Structure 1
Amino acid sequence: MYDYIAIERKYGSGGHEIADKLAKKLGYQLYDRGVVVETCKRMGLPYDQVSGMDEQTPVKALFKASGTDNTSMEEKIYNTEVEIIKEAAEKPGCVFVGRCASEILKDKQCLKVFITADDSYRMKRAINVENIEADKAEDVMKRFDKKREKFFTTHSGYKWGSTDYFDIVLNVSELDEEACVAMLEALVKF
């Protein structure tokens, strides 16, 4: 039985919806954008600023001046999210979406899941569900995927979507969301 599920996802794959449905079926707490809201509260920053830097690869300071804090804002946001995720994991029964939670919880009984889909599926979903303009959907997908991949690789040291890291990789365009939820629910209860 897994007490924690960490889901990474390609943009437009429906990973967030799968996480939400799975959390409800299992009676687990879902941690997604709420982590960003809590980060805003703790850091005293507006939501737009934190969400714009959320899951961003930290910019390293080029020069270190003695006695100054050279921690980038991206690093401060990530470190705050790490605290929030670890605090949430003090109670079993959590589903985390993104934010490299699988790596943060690597010492716990955590099911590491990667959700993907083919580009045409993701394009349709970006347009119809995320309300992205058709002529911009491909660029949005690429931008989000690149950002998430770089963030994940930086913090985990593993390739994003790699079967060497993730316990299960699900292709939603070959299955559907309900089948993915059912498979994950079975795995968690196994």
Structure 2
Amino acid sequence: MKKYVISVGRQFGSGGHDIGKKLAERLGIKFYDKELLLEAAKEIGANPELFKKNDEKLPSFYINNLSMNLGFYMQPFAASPASSYYDSVQKTVCDTIRAIAERESCVIMGRCADFLLRHNPYCINIFISASQDACAERITKRIDGLTIDDAKALAKKTNKLRAEYYNFYTDKEWGHSSSYDLCIDSSRLPEEDVINQIISYVNARLAL
């Protein structure tokens, strides 16, 4: 069978991680989220914590240049040691995503995998969103002592970081329906139904 990839973008608190993981389990394929960073770090013998620190967010020296859309591996201004290091981290993650996609069928969470694999006809791009209240409620269940208002603020901040990262490195808009094959509001359906809807779409697209 042809190897395929399901990339899953998600709003913070939407349950996208759990949906992606259970989707992979149902399909019998590998799941990559933080595991992707560990594999990327191993490739260059780096500390995985350095990758986690820069995961799906732009450093300040790039945020100041958000008006310049790059595409991967390009630099819009004179490189500093900090920007060169950051670019090397991102390039390693990108190379790891491409290598995984060639090696095996899998679910990959975020990290612009949809854009990186845009020329792969067997890559299906999903985006999971949810209502603000549903996201906040889920976040408070994950983080002890967090109020609903704090959870909403955290979700807003995290989504902003993800959007800046995605919009900077791709020619698409994070969270916009035109950027994905299938968008689902997880607060409208039980989790199992969301997974079933995705599997139905995957089966129809790939004739699994």
For normalisation by structure 2, the TM-score amounts to: 0.81
The AA in structure 2 aligned to 1:56 is K
The AA in structure 1 aligned to 2:136 is M
What does residue 52 of structure 1 align with? 53
Cα deviation code 1:40-79 (max 9, x no counterpart) = 32344333332111112264589737xx867433322211
- 3-state DSSP class of the match of 1:54? coil
Bigger shift: residues 160-169 or 11-20: 160-169
- Is 1:107 equivalent to 2:107 in the alignment? no
- 3-state DSSP class of the match of 2:6? strand
On the 8 A contact 1:64/1:70 being kept in 2, the answer is no
Query: Once the 2 structures are TM-superposed, how far is the Cα of residue 93 of structure 1 from its aligned partner?
Result: 1.5
1:40-119 equivalences under 5 Å are 40-57=41-58, 59-60=61-62, 64=78, 71-108=83-120, 109-119=122-132
The AA in structure 2 aligned to 1:31 is Y
- 3-state DSSP class of the match of 1:95? strand
Cα gap change, 1:22 to 1:128, in 2 (>3 Å) = same
- 3-state DSSP class of the match of 1:89? helix
Bigger shift: residues 39-48 or 140-149: 39-48
What does residue 65 of structure 2 align with? none
What does residue 161 of structure 1 align with? 175
- Is 1:3 equivalent to 2:4 in the alignment? yes
- 3-state DSSP class of the match of 1:164? helix
The AA in structure 2 aligned to 1:126 is I
- 3-state DSSP class of the match of 1:72? helix
Cα gap change, 1:18 to 1:152, in 2 (>3 Å) = same
- Is 1:123 equivalent to 2:143 in the alignment? no
The 1-side partners of 2:84 and 2:158 are apart by 21
RMSD: 2.3
On the 8 A contact 1:27/1:93 being kept in 2, the answer is no
- Is 1:173 equivalent to 2:174 in the alignment? no
Cα deviation code 1:8-44 (max 9, x no counterpart) = 0000001011100110111111111101112232344
The AA in structure 1 aligned to 2:123 is C
The 1-side partners of 2:131 and 2:51 are apart by 30
On the 8 A contact 1:40/1:46 being kept in 2, the answer is yes
- 3-state DSSP class of the match of 1:90? helix
For normalisation by structure 1, the TM-score amounts to: 0.89
